[in-house]
Structure 1
Amino acid sequence: MFSDNRTELRKQFFDAWSKQENNEILSPLEVTICQVIAEHPEYHFIFSNMDRYINQDYLPEFGEANPFLHLSMHLGIREQVSTNRPKGISQIHQSLSIKLGNNLEAEHLMMDALAETLWQAQRDNQAPDEAQYIKRLKKILKRYN
């Protein structure tokens, strides 16, 4: 999943979904990719048509959400939760999931904090501030207490 090449990254989504559809053996990462895609039926049509969507641009200024970015953020959050890095994220995720009734909705809320943290790091040309990220997540959690 670690590449600067947009097409290569997207192809991993298409390949995993195709392998699942064809009952082929999946790697652990591909299993997670397919779980995230399965939880987003609004995107299934994309993964049935690689030729059309692999190079599709999504422009926020026209109200377009990038499904690959969205799904990648789920993958990132799930990896963070599984390793509890930054420290405390697993407990925040669990608490939000309980309060909201499922993991997916918790991750959707957590994405805002992740996006802001990544944007700030990119803007400042530095590593993401994990302490600030946790602070943002705790602020979200506090709204649901």
Structure 2
Amino acid sequence: MFTPSPAEVRRFFCRAWAKRRAGQPMQPIETLAADWIAEHPEYHADFADEASAIARAYPELDGQANPFLHLAMHLSISEQCSIDQPRGIRHAVEQLASRQGDLHRAHHEVMAFLGQMLADAQSSGRPFDGDAYLDAIQRRATRD
């Protein structure tokens, strides 16, 4: 299993953003990452300076979101949808995006569920509950 360090994750995002800005060729995953970064101008400065990005801490208590965690969640959701794992997530996210009129907004809603499910799994010591995660997204996508 691929388990990059926090510094490696930050380097990846910063380098993908630098390539986008320089018009350099990119791998598909870098293109996807840069596309999501482009959707977040409030984070552009965080991705523009690799050394600062690696050194900076984002304590939960200061109220500022960690842009690297945020973008990693966008990539995770994109990957889940691309392989439809958990089975049915692609349709649920597409349905939510249609309802919201915007894939980006739908991702942010899915992130809330993903974050909660990860926190629940971590605090309980139980495995991630993909069925409950998918059920939460489906309920949100279909509620009036």
* Smaller-chain TM-score bracket: over 0.9
Q: Measure the CA separation in 1 of the matches of 2:30 and 2:58.
A: 24
RMSD: 1.6
| Residue identity in the other structure for 1:76 | S
- Kindly state the Cα deviation for residue 113 of structure 1 after the two structures are TM-superposed: 0.6
1:19-71 C-alpha deviation (Å, 9 max, x unpaired): 12222110011010100100111111112222222221112212121111111
Match of residue 106 from structure 1: 106
Q: Measure the CA separation in 2 of the matches of 1:107 and 1:8.
A: 24
1:93-131 C-alpha deviation (Å, 9 max, x unpaired): 111111111100000001011011111122223321111
- Kindly state the Cα deviation for residue 91 of structure 1 after the two structures are TM-superposed: 1.0
Q: Measure the CA separation in 1 of the matches of 2:104 and 2:78.
A: 10
Give runs of aligned pairs for residues 1-145 of structure 1, distance below 5 A.
2-143=2-143, 145=144
- Kindly state the Cα deviation for residue 4 of structure 1 after the two structures are TM-superposed: 4.2
Q: Measure the CA separation in 2 of the matches of 1:25 and 1:4.
A: 23
Relative contact order, CA 8 A, sep 6+: which one is greater?
2
Q: Measure the CA separation in 2 of the matches of 1:84 and 1:44.
A: 30
Indicate if the aligned counterparts of 1:3 and 1:9 stay in contact, CA closer than 8 A.
no
Equivalent residues, number: 144
TM-score normalised over the length of structure 2: 0.92
Q: Which stretches in structure 1 are left out of the alignment for 5+ residues?
A: none
* Paired-residue identity, %: 35
